[in-house]
Amino acid sequence: MVRRERNPGKGASLRAGVAAALAQHYTWVMTLDGDGQHRPEDIPAFLRCAEETGAALIVGNRMHQAESIPWLRRRVNRWMSRRLSACAGRALPDSQCGYRLINLKAWAELVLEANHFEIESEVLLGFVRAGYGVEFVPIRVIGKGGQSHIHPLKDTWRWLRWWQRARLAPNAVSWHEFK
């Protein structure tokens, strides 16, 4: 377990947790958001998908129950997912879902720098650009879950700054292709 005296942000915390798992020589890590919106009973679907497809990143997909996600969060997720999908050259239907099964060998080969909520997007594009398999599995949505720690203005600004760098990174398609 990794404990911090102060919250350095979701991305920094996720990277620290994964580093601890790597130090313990684990092969996979399962992540889920701490706001109570994910069901542990969905874990077998992630494991089956990894076994059947060989993908290095399995992401939960809530979009079949999108009406259960608060309206603004659903709209923002869809907007971000469209942009990331165009940049990745493939469908990424629920780019902001934090319920993920991650292969640690693949993770260790990526350069990930995001310290906050933009980590979800950075991980997706990192895996896709590195040529690793990425799959999505349907998961059930538990209402609104607990209180979100997203700060709409601050986190949107961070994501847009991250996006500005990400879309210009190697292997990115040009901006006019996904406006």
pLDDT level of residue 178 (50, 70, 90 thresholds): very low
Sorted by sequence, the CB contacts under 8 Å of residue 111 that are 6+ apart come out as 126
Q: How far apart are CA 94 and CA 104, in angstroms?
A: 21
Amino acid letter, 120 = E
Name the CATH architecture for the domain at 10-177: Alpha-Beta Complex (3.90)
Q: Which range is least confidently modeled, 48-52, 123-127, 166-170? A: 166-170
b vs e for 4-18, b when ≥16 Cβ sit within 10 Å of the residue's Cβ?
Answer: eeeeebbbbbbbeeb
- Confidence (pTM): 0.85
Supply the pLDDT for residue 139. Answer: 95
Residue 54 is predicted with a pLDDT of: 98
Residues 131-156, mean pLDDT to the nearest whole number: 78
What's the pLDDT score for residue 116?
Answer: 87
Give the residue-averaged pLDDT of 119-130: 95
Write out the two tokens for 46.
């992630």
Contacts of 94 (CB under 8 A, 6+ apart): 59, 60, 61, 62, 63, 77, 81, 136
Q: What is the pLDDT of residues 15-51, one digit of tens each?
A: 999 999 999 999 999 998 877 888 999 999 999 999 9
Region of residue 36 (left: phi > 0; alpha: psi -120 to 50; beta: else)? left
pLDDT exceeds 90 at position 148:
no
Question: Taking the CB of residue 118, how many other CB atoms lie within 10 A of it?
Answer: 25
